C-alpha cells in the first residue's frame, strides 16, 4: 500500500496531479480545494495517499493533511459512498465542520454534494454519529454548518477548540452569518 509520496510535481490540473517520485510518475486524484493550494509544477511536495483498488482500477487519492486522508477513508467505508463522492464531501467544508454536521445530524450539509442523496446522507450520519459523538460535542445553534465554520475560524486564530465551542454556545441565537458569529465570539474571548 502507498500511504505517502514525496516528489516533484510534473503535471497538475483541476482533478489530479502527477508526482515524479524515484523516476515513476504517480497520478494522484484530489479535490479542487487541495489542488489549488498545491505548489506549482516543478516544485517538491509530500502527499498522504490512499490506494483505491477495484477489479479494473488502481487509483491514488491524495491529501496534504493526514486528518483529511483518515476522514476520506472513513467516508469510503460507508456503503454508497465511493471515492468521488467522498472527495465531493471533503470539498464542501473542513473536516471539523463535516464532523460537526454529522454529530448535529445536518443532512442538508451533505445533500449539497453531487452524488449524495438524502438516503446516503442519512446512512452516513447513522454510521458515523456514534463514532464521532465520543470526540465531538454538538454545537447548539440554528445552523450547525455556520457554527462549525465559525469554530474552525476561531481555532485557526489560535483559540482552543473547547474554548471556541463554549463561546459559540454562549452567543445569542439571533446572530446570523459566520462573520457575525466570529466577531461576537471574539468580543467574548477578548474579555477573558
Residue 133's pLDDT band (cuts 50, 70, 90)? low
pLDDT score recorded for residue 100: 81
Mean pLDDT of 73-91: 90
Residue 39's pLDDT band (cuts 50, 70, 90)? very high
Which range in 93-102, 160-169, 178-187 is most confidently predicted, on average pLDDT? 178-187
80 in helix, strand or coil?
coil
Separation between Cα atoms, residue 172 and residue 39, nearest integer Å: 41
Query: Does residue 138 belong to any structural domain of this protein?
Result: no
CATH, residue 95:
1.10.150.20
Q: What is the pTM of this model?
A: 0.71
pLDDT score recorded for residue 166: 77
CATH, residue 33:
2.40.50.140
Residue 17's pLDDT band (cuts 50, 70, 90)? very high
Question: What is the tally of structural domains in the chain?
Answer: 3
11 shares a domain with 49 = yes
76 shares a domain with 39 = no
Residue length of the chain: 192
112 shares a domain with 70 = yes
CATH, residue 173:
1.10.8
Q: Give the list of residues 6+ apart from residue 16 with CB closer than 8 angstroms, or none.
A: 27, 28, 29, 30, 35
Query: Does residue 126 belong to any structural domain of this protein?
Result: yes
pLDDT of 142 over the 60 cut? no
Q: Sign of torsion, CA 123 129 131 136?
A: positive
52 in helix, strand or coil?
strand
Separation between Cα atoms, residue 140 and residue 20, nearest integer Å: 47
Residue 53's pLDDT band (cuts 50, 70, 90)? very high
Residues of the domain holding 169: 144-191
Query: Does residue 139 belong to any structural domain of this protein?
Result: no
54 shares a domain with 20 = yes
Strand partners of residue 191: none
Our CA angle for 174, 98, 12, nearest 5°, is 125
Report the candidate in 31, 108, 111, 28 with the shortest Cα–Cα distance to residue 71.
31
Separation between Cα atoms, residue 160 and residue 170, nearest integer Å: 16
Residue 59's pLDDT band (cuts 50, 70, 90)? very high
Amino acid at each position: 500500500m502507498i500511504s505517502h509520496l514525496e516528489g516533484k510535481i510534473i503535471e497538475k490540473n483541476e482533478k489530479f496531479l502527477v508526482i515524479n517520485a524515484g523516476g515513476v510518475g504517480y497520478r494522484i486524484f484530489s479535490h479542487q480545494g487541495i489542488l489549488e493550494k498545491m505548489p506549482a509544477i516543478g516544485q517538491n511536495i509530500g502527499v498522504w495517499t490512499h490506494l483505491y483498488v477495484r477489479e479494473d482500477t488502481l487509483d491514488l487519492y491524495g491529501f496534504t493533511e493526514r486528518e483529511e486522508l483518515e476522514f476520506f477513508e472513513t467516508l469510503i467505508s460507508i456503503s454508497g459512498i465511493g471515492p468521488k463522492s467522498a472527495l465531493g464531501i471533503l470539498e464542501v467544508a473542513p473536516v471539523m465542520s463535516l464532523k460537526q454536521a454529522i454529530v448535529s445530524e445536518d443532512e442538508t450539509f451533505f445533500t449539497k454534494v453531487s452524488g449524495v442523496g438524502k438516503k446516503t446522507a442519512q446512512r452516513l450520519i447513522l454510521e458515523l454519529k456514534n463514532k464521532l459523538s465520543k470526540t465531538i460535542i454538538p454545537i447548539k445553534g440554528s445552523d450547525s454548518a455556520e457554527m462549525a465554520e465559525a469554530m474552525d475560524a476561531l481555532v485557526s486564530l489560535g483559540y482552543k477548540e473547547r474554548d471556541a465551542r463554549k463561546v459559540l454556545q454562549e452567543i445569542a441565537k439571533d446572530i446570523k452569518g459566520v462573520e457575525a458569529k466570529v466577531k461576537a465570539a471574539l468580543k467574548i474571548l477578548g474579555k477573558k
